Amino acid sequence: MSIKSILVVDDTPTDMTNLRDIVSDAGFRVTTADNGREALEKAKAEGPDLIFLDIIMPEMDGFETCRHLSGDPATKEIPVVFVSSKNQKADKVWAEMQGGQAYITKPYTPDEIVDQIKAFQ
């Protein structure tokens, strides 16, 4: 799979900007969403090659968003990488059970983000 476009989902403007800039600087096209519902809409409409998804968000958290993505034939093949401040083993296990393929803990380095992208190339 060749990664060209990435959807970044985070409700915190600083985290969104930081992650968007890392992905963009690495040469990938970036689309953003600041909540789960918007992420579902953009994932269906734009078909990104990868999604970086925060967990703690209003309206629909990242776990529920991932369940919807994994259960929809239009989006179920898009890899989801959780990016969260939640650092408990239970969170990581639950993320995997919802359909997430990887998990990065905040704070992260740009190299961690780029390495995760490369893992899906």
* CATH label of the domain that carries residue 98: 3.40.50.2300
Per-residue model confidence as pLDDT tens digits over 79-114: 999 999 988 999 999 999 999 999 999 999 999 999
CA proximity to 79, closest of 117, 113, 28: 117
Per-residue model confidence as pLDDT tens digits over 13-43: 999 999 999 999 999 999 999 999 999 999 9
The pLDDT of residue 72: 96
Cross-strand bridge partners of residue 80: 51
Please say if the pLDDT value at position 1 is more than 80: no
Q: Phi and psi of 93, rounded to 5°?
A: -65, -45
Cβ neighbours of residue 18 closer than 8 Å, sequence gap 6 or more: none
CA proximity to 25, closest of 114, 115, 116: 114
Residue 10 tokens read as 């985070």
Q: What average pLDDT does range 63-86 have in this prediction?
A: 96
Residue-range definition of the domain harbouring residue 32:
5-119
The pLDDT of residue 55: 96
Number of domains in the chain: 1
Please say whether the beta carbons of 51 and 39 come within 8 A: yes
Using pLDDT thresholds of 50, 70 and 90, give the confidence band for residue 59.
confident
Residue 5 tokens read as 């476009």
Using pLDDT thresholds of 50, 70 and 90, give the confidence band for residue 58.
confident
The pLDDT of residue 98: 96
Please say if the pLDDT value at position 9 is more than 90: yes
**Choice between 58 and 18, residue whose per-residue pLDDT is larger:** 18
